[in-house]
């Protein structure tokens, strides 16, 4: 009984801490290095090279007979420790740190763990835990490890200022369960530990300003943006676009809108943890093709500068729309930390937003909400009959890790800003947080993130930690039946873990999942994933497959992401903050350099602009379809130091001029006045290309801001083109003819795979003709390109026309 009480106390502490700081649960499998544990650590003999000096076994209770011994199977050096004969889950190597750690200080702990029992589950969760005496236990860090591989636990934590450290003992263990002997291979397997370190402060890895590398490689779709963070994504499809609503990881504000924390670096470039406690805005981006994402800006939600002045924070949004009174209305639900659900309304998917009720929509006093630990993570569904439902909740009550029963669903009123009746409980096994809801083929799919301290098998189902699982029901209010897991923790795919948050949506008849991972942060931090778990998250999208039986197939999270849907039309005004890839402009997080969208509070119109542009940086657009040809580029700019924009096709490389099709000049000015600049392209750009805007100038200051790009399309030269295959003496010939339909002479170039021919000064109504020998009897289908160059209105114009020909076999 005493053992269970102290475990419950520990789980309470871990659950509360998880709201403010996410555990770094990365899955890492690496070859053993030559070195051993860090000699500067507070831990004594963390690499076990001096035998068991400094270590003893933490027996889960007095009857536990677990033992420690040395093993040569070490992660590094010559020795590791092996834990055997366990009868309680708390058994593991322990070291007394009493008098070595202090309350109120931050520490970073690391440890390597491994298990090999072939009868044990394919993955297993491990904890580093601190025992402060009595029943006070706090989980400091965790990792889920594949069987037979070394995993890394790495986490930074702060000992509460009020915590007594008269006793402080650190140990490693597996998740608590009340009856581990019922499945010893699952709960009581032997395991190995090596390279345990504990150091004061956060890791000392720094990010030199101006040296950021792209987190998003050209050709990849993930992360959706790498110049700004965005977490807890929700996707809403409206009018042919996907709108992503996200928690604004990064800048944090006080109640009046003043920045109190800028991203993850202090003035010296040292990494800081994401505190989450002052996030008062939500970020919105949108795309019509899932490749080119437009930053729509940040929604000012909480505090005196926000729409919901009663709220202190804004986390984990969900959005939807419906027609009310003949007018389309948009509804944005958000979490006020873990204390309630608010709602904002707008006439547009991007705002401006207003608080229609001036208070929280869902609170602890809402009928049916009693027992919910965390009132957050809303999800919204409008059913086929027009009825609407809100899903929310999370957290793990003491002793209820397997069935927390803290998820809820409640019906919304027709106005979408009120609730109807009593909330129903969703009994989601191993629930932690992150409600998701979808209606698929008439069934209701509720999805969620699992917690980090449950039993590995619940009701006969093997369930992992920090994974996305789902349930199905015939009713939006449940009951729901557990189906399985669909998306593992981000650490499985990207090497850095933390919490898991998702939403599924349908776009162009395909189901997708949007989720977050700490990938941009990893790119920013020297050393990659092993030092990157600081809690700054970025949004991704991957495909979802629904099997014929209605089950969701396991999803693989990738950098590659999803294919672009269609192409980008350059005949429309393109916002400059529409970006497919960039040059590593994450150094926008350092105030002195980078490209970023306009920060909150600096533009009264609310329209975003590309700002803080420095030399040699670039942004890009994916698969722009120029059709028969663009002849120029116009942009609205705010000059500063001035410079140039190089327009390059298919590559940002400046090594040669082959991809350079134009240069837009921006004058220097301190007037602070927006102006329009234009340039002719050096050649008429036709077909589909990636477009790269490469920024050039002198000095280290800001060159200019850009509001939009507008490609111009000049007149086409009229020409009639035919192409066909003919046979002569058993060989094939491709015959191409182009008639000049212009009112003045033109130059015509005929191009095929079998040769080229140019004609100068072709008169109006005259033809340019050439028969190209193929030297083969069986000619495959192909095309010929005709380029016509002439003068229109005193300007040189080139028009390209492609003609197809069919396959032909000559006898």
Structure tokens at 518: 């700490």
> How is 193-219 classified by DSSP, letter by letter?
EEEEEEEESS---B--TT----SS-TT
d(CA 26, CA 535): 12
Q: Which of 232, 251, 587, 707 is catalytic?
A: 232
| Contact call for residues 305 and 256 (beta carbons, < 8 A) | yes
Helices (runs of H) and strands (runs of E) counted in the chain: 4, 52
| Residue closest to 127 by CA, chosen among 89, 97, 87 | 89
d(CA 407, CA 392): 6
Compute, in degrees rounded to 10, the torsion defined by CA atoms 159, 160, 162, 164. Answer: -20
First to last CA, the chain: 93
Structure tokens at 287: 């795309």
| Residue closest to 125 by CA, chosen among 401, 523, 463 | 463
> How is 324-346 classified by DSSP, letter by letter?
ETTEEEEEEEEESTTB-EEEEEE
d(CA 708, CA 634): 8
Q: State CA 161 to chain mean position distance.
A: 34
| Residue closest to 493 by CA, chosen among 234, 223, 232 | 223
| Contact call for residues 345 and 321 (beta carbons, < 8 A) | no
Residue 516, CB-side half-sphere exposure with 13 Å CA sphere? 30
The verdict on whether 251 is a catalytic residue reads: no
Provide the 8-state DSSP code for 525.
Answer: S
- Hunting for tokens 């002195």 — which residue is that? 592
Residue 393 backbone class (left: φ over 0; alpha: ψ -120 to 50; beta: rest): left
| Residue closest to 105 by CA, chosen among 163, 35, 151 | 163
Provide the 8-state DSSP code for 10.
Answer: H
* CA dist list (Å): 491 to 137, 461, 488, 499, 516: 25, 22, 8, 9, 11
Q: Which of 3, 249, 355, 433 is catalytic?
A: 433
> How is 119-170 classified by DSSP, letter by letter?
TS-SEEEEEEEEE-STT-EEEEEEEEEETTS-EEEEEEEE--TT---SS-EE
d(CA 320, CA 7): 41
| Contact call for residues 27 and 145 (beta carbons, < 8 A) | yes
CB-based contacts of 502: which residues, under 8 Å, 6+ apart?
A: 233, 434, 436, 447, 449, 468, 487, 513, 514, 515
Structure tokens at 71: 């093993």
The verdict on whether 702 is a catalytic residue reads: no
d(CA 435, CA 428): 10
> Within 10 Å of residue 418's Cβ, how many Cβ atoms?
13
d(CA 259, CA 252): 6
d(CA 312, CA 304): 9
| Contact call for residues 380 and 333 (beta carbons, < 8 A) | yes
d(CA 11, CA 175): 10
| Residue closest to 47 by CA, chosen among 72, 27, 67, 29 | 72
Catalytic machinery residues: 232, 433
């Amino acid at each position: 009984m005493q053992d269970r009480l102290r475990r419950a106390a520990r789980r309470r502490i871990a659950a509360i801490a998880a709201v403010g700081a996410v555990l770094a649960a990365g899955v890492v499998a690496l070859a053993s290095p030559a070195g051993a544990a860090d000699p500067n650590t507070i831990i004594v003999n963390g690499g076990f090279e001096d035998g068991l000096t400094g270590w003893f076994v933490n027996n889960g209770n007095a009857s536990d007979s677990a033992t420690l011994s040395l093993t040569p199977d070490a992660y590094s050096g010559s020795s590791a420790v092996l834990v055997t004969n366990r009868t309680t889950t708390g058994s593991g190597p322990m070291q007394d740190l009493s008098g070595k750690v202090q309350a109120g200080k931050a520490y970073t702990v690391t440890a390597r763990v491994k298990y090999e029992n072939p009868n044990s589950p394919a993955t297993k969760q491990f904890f580093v835990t601190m025992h402060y005496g009595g029943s006070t236990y706090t989980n400091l860090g965790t990792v889920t490890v594949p069987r037979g591989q070394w995993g890394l636990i790495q986490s930074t934590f702060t000992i509460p200022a009020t915590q007594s450290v008269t006793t402080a003992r650190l140990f490693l263990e597996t998740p608590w369960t009340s009856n581990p002997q019922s499945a010893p291979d699952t709960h009581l397997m032997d395991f190995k530990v090596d390279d345990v370190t504990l150091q004061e402060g956060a890791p000392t890895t720094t990010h030199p300003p101006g040296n950021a590398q792209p987190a998003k490689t050209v050709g990849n779709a993930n992360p959706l943006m790498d110049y700004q963070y965005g977490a807890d994504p929700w996707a809403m499809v409206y009018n042919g676009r996907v709108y992503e609503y996200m928690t604004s990881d990064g800048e944090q504000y006080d109640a009046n809108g003043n920045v109190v924390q800028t991203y993850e670096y202090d003035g010296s470039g040292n990494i800081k943890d994401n505190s989450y406690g002052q996030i008062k805005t939500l970020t919105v981006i949108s795309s019509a093709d899932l490749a080119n994402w437009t930053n729509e800006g940040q929604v000012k939600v909480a505090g005196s500068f926000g729409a919901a002045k009663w709220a202190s924070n804004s986390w984990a949004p969900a959005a939807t729309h419906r027609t009310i009174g003949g007018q389309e209305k948009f509804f944005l639900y958000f979490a006020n930390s873990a204390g309630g659900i608010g709602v904002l309304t707008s006439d547009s998917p991007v705002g401006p937003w207003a608080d229609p009720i001036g208070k929280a929509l869902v609170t602890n006093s809402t009928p049916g909400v009693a027992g919910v630990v965390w009132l957050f993570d809303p999800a919204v569904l409008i059913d086929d009959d027009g009825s609407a439902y809100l899903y929310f909740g999370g957290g793990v009550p003491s002793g209820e890790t397997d069935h927390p029963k803290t998820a809820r669903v409640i019906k919304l009123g027709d106005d979408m800003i009120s609730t109807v009746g009593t909330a129903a409980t969703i009994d989601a096994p191993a629930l932690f947080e992150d409600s998701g809801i979808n209606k698929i083929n008439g069934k209701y799919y509720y999805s969620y993130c699992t917690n980090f301290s449950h039993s590995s098998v619940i009701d006969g189902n093997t369930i992992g930690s920090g994974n996305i699982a789902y349930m199905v029901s015939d009713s939006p209010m449940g009951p729901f039946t557990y189906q399985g897991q669909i998306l593992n923790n981000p650490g499985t795919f990207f090497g850095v873990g933390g919490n898991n948050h998702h939403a599924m949506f349908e776009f162009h008849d395909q189901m997708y999942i949007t989720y977050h991972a700490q990938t941009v942060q990893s790119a920013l931090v020297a050393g990659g994933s092993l030092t990157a778990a600081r809690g700054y998250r970025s949004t991704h999208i991957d495909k979802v497959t629904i099997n014929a039986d209605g089950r969701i197939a396991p999803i693989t999270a990738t950098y590659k992401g999803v294919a672009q849907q269609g192409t980008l039309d350059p005949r429309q005004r393109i916002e400059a903050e529409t970006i497919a890839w960039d040059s590593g402009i994450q150094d926008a997080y350092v105030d002195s350099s980078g490209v970023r969208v306009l920060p909150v509070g600096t533009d009264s119109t609310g329209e975003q602009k590309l700002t803080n542009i420095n030399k040699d940086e670039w942004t890009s657009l994916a698969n722009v379809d120029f059709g028969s040809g663009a002849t120029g580029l116009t942009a609205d700019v705010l000059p500063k130091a001035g410079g140039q924009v190089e327009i390059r096709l298919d590559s940002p490389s400046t090594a040669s001029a082959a991809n350079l099709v134009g240069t837009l000049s921006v004058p220097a000015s301190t007037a602070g006045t927006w102006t329009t600049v234009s340039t002719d392209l050096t050649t008429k750009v036709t077909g589909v290309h990636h477009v790269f805007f490469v920024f050039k100038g002198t000095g280290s200051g800001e060159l200019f801001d850009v509001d939009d790009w507008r490609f111009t399309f000049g007149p086409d030269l009229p020409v009639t083109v035919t192409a066909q295959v003919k046979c002569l003496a058993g060989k094939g010939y491709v015959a191409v003819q182009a008639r000049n339909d212009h009112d003045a002479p033109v130059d015509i170039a005929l191009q095929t795979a079998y040769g080229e021919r140019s004609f100068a000064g072709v008169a109006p109504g005259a033809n340019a003709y050439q028969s190209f020998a193929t030297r083969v009897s069986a000619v495959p289908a192909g095309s010929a390109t005709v380029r016509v160059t002439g003068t229109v209105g005193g300007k040189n114009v080139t028009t390209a026309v492609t003609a197809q020909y069919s396959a032909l076999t000559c006898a």
